[in-house]
Amino acid sequence: MASEIINPRQEALAADGPDPAFALHRGGKMAVAATVPLRDTADLSLAYTPGVAKVCSAIAEQPELVHDYTWKSQTVAVVTDGSAVLGLGDIGPEASLPVMEGKAILFKQFGGVDAVPIALDARDPDDIVETVVRLAPSFGGINLEDIAAPRCFEIERRLQERLDIPVFHDDQHGTAVVTLAALRNAARLTGRDLAELRAVISGAGAAGMAIAKILRGAGVGEVTVCDRGGVLSRKRTDLNAAKRELAELTDTTGRSGTLADAMAGADVFIGVSGGTVPEETVARMAPGAFVFAMANPDPEVHPEVAARHAAVVATGRSDFPNQINNVLAFPGIFAGALQVRAPRISEGMKLAAAEALAGVVADELSPSLVIPSPFDARVAPAVSAAVARAARAEGIARR
């Protein structure tokens, strides 16, 4: 009887016992694969020396050719320092690497974009900025991931000032785009305009700040942001520079007090802070309210509780309807930006992404469907096309 051929990977997975997470991660979740054949010396002479010299010389003479003859135009660096990993906090660069690998395969699976995880042993913004600037020639875009606030704001700003490729902090802008898309559809479902809504955001970190800015940019009537000290207002003297800037943007009515005070009569609650919001506080919101309780793994308001008082409920979890998941945004946004070689991802491109994402299910709306599934094949093409159109309309597309 012929001996059974054992798949080395299957054997390795079996060695990890019953835990499927460890089994799946053994050896990592991604690898580098060639896109051209190396069958013989003729192939080798084209892919490497001497053929490669012709291409290098052409790029040296005309640098823009790097987008046509290397992977640059379709590859993103996923960069972290491991200081604010979702649900885990400051766990360091090595421990963050499985998350960055996961992000990379999401780029490929959902957007057709190649991505390389880069976990940096650095915390000083100067060190991170200088390192990424030196790595940038190899990539068409930089996706910043799981970097703690407030230094994530400074790092993103400084990198975009120095680089002519998109720099995108997904914890901020990806979350904001998907949140706005869900809010647009919740408003459509209930026959309201964004301008009529009063929204309250719990959490003034990276996601909360970006959500507040995109909601204001989209025309939401009033946006109030709360941190542990209550409503961000111009009168507070305990705010850092980023929060002061946000207070200037959102303090349009002089509102003050606690989160519970702000939520009384509000149309929208958006939670990106963790903690628990009591049911009685949710009950004091306006009739037909929207509750987007997005903390993971425990939403600020349990969906069953929220549903007793709200017309639309969303969370950050995949086991409840209406998951606010960044994977709905970043693959398509980068695909669109890379397609037109945009040097940055503008506010207009983000708004276009949110509108396109909302439009995917605009004709199918129900309280349990205001945002598409990540596995809806329509998502990335719709988002990338909208982003590319927006870049062209703004005159920043380079092809």
State the alpha helices, DSSP H only, in the chain: 8-14, 20-25, 41-47, 51-61, 66-69, 92-111, 125-135, 151-162, 170-189, 206-218, 241-250, 259-263, 279-283, 303-306, 330-339, 347-360, 379-394
171 annotated binding-site participant: yes
Out of 54, 69, 72, 103, pick the active-site residue: 103
For residues 10 and 265, what is the distance between their CA atoms, to the nearest angstrom? 56
| Amino acid letter, 150 | P
Of 133, 117, 113, the closest CA to residue 73 belongs to 113
227 annotated binding-site participant: no
Out of 48, 54, 108, 235, pick the active-site residue: 48
- The answer to whether residue 103 is catalytic is yes
| Rg value, the chain, Cα | 23
- The answer to whether residue 69 is catalytic is no
16 annotated binding-site participant: no
Work out the number of other CB atoms within 10 angstroms of the CB of residue 322: 23
Say what angle helices 170-189 and 347-360 make with each other, to 10 degrees.
50
Known binding residues for (S)-malate: 296, 325
**Which residues contribute to the annotated binding site?**
145-146, 171, 296, 325
Q: Annotated binding site for a divalent metal cation: which residue ranges?
A: 145-146, 171
| Catalytically annotated residues | 48, 103
